[in-house]
Structure 1
């Protein structure tokens, strides 16, 4: 998704160092110091405009959240929400999700969220999918023992691929939803894409898996 350039985006980032970083290497192993209180750290890889992670941070003050996004114009939308809300349990990181082990220490993360990731449907782009084994290796490296990965998408092909990829990697699939909004799941926080696709009647797929 291509977003419009926001005038002054970099200035906004530079003027908000308490909430957002463009390089997290100096905080590797020390992320708890960026939060008001020490709590389990959950990360969302590819946070888009941030509706999900801001909603989660508001609903769960006992958890610390980090939004990870590569697109400057997307993360600015999250930062604008954070500047308005001033949530003490939310931090933003403008980096590539493929390099997370450069920013987080082994065992520093309690949970990983992947929401409506780019499906990269062509076979030659398989390694770009956020549920490819190369990404799973990075998540596992920074995750605590038996940490969980939660994944949502509207793309059936990506969901089927992810089920296979996680299983082959040796993760334990705990729960699977083939139509999340037609289930009894409680506490769902929707992303912008999820609202858009669900209004069109498209099923939302979701899974919860655990690293072993």
Structure 2
């Protein structure tokens, strides 16, 4: 979902180059320099307003995190929260997920999170789905051998498609839940903004964790 333009976004981004990068060049292999410590680096692709990744970074100080967003307005909303939180293990990136292999060197990312991605329901838009084979190839390149992927959605059609897509690609499913909030996994689940909204309406949340074959 596209957010309305935020008139203050550009100024906020320009004021905090230490916390956010807008379509950077030559960063592959150098991301750890953006953090206080060299730690496993995890990426959320499509971070929305940042609720998930902010809390993930807060709960896991021994990992570094990147919130990646294509929309400048959304990235600025994450930045607004980060300016207040001052988490040393969180960076924000404005760029397109199709450029992952330009932004990161092979194996630079330890884990990828896909939360409530656009379902792109029309068959002609299949390649735009973030669990389609063309995106899985990108993830496989920036993740280490047996690199992990976690995926959450409220869209049953996208979830069913993703199960088939990942399996056909040769990925190994570790966990699958057809009702995350009614499962034991909910005890450690960190909610996104969309997740709160959908779950509040009684909609099921679908979840999977998988890894690539060596």
For residues 169-184 of structure 1, what are the structure 2 equivalents within 5 Å? 169-184=169-184
Report deviation, 1:192: 0.3
1:105 partner SS:
coil
What residue in structure 2 maps to residue 35 of structure 1? 35
Measure the CA separation in 2 of the matches of 1:8 and 1:50. Answer: 17
Cross-structure match for 1:105: 105
Residues in 2 aligned to 1:7 and 1:89: alpha-carbon distance in whole angstroms = 27
2:157 paired with 1:157: yes
Residue 159 of structure 1 deviates from its aligned partner by 0.1
CA RMSD of aligned residues (A): 0.7
Give 3-state SS (helix, strand or coil) of 1:87's partner. Answer: coil
Q: Show the 5 A alignment for 1:32-71.
A: 32-71=32-71
CA distance in 1, matches of 2:21, 2:113: 19
Q: Which runs of 5+ in 2 are unaligned?
A: none
Aligned length: 212
Distance 2:156 2:112 in 1: 21
Compute the displacement of 1:8 (Å).
Answer: 2.6
Residue 192 of structure 1 corresponds to which residue in structure 2? 193
Comparing 5-14 with 182-191, greater Cα deviation is found at: 5-14
- Post-superposition offset of 1:15: 1.4
TM-score by length of 1: 0.98
SS at match of 1:61: coil
Deviation at 1:11, TM superposition (A): 1.8
Q: Are the equivalent residues in 1 in contact too, given 2:107–2:142 (CA < 8 A)? A: yes
Structure 1 residue 10 displacement after superposition: 1.3
Residue-by-residue CA offset, 1:151-201 (whole Å, 9 max, x unaligned): 000000000000000000010011100000001112110000000000111
> Counterpart of 2:212?
211
Q: Which runs of 4+ in 1 moved over 6 A?
A: none
CA distance in 2, matches of 1:59, 1:131: 27
TM-superposed deviation, 1:145: 1.2
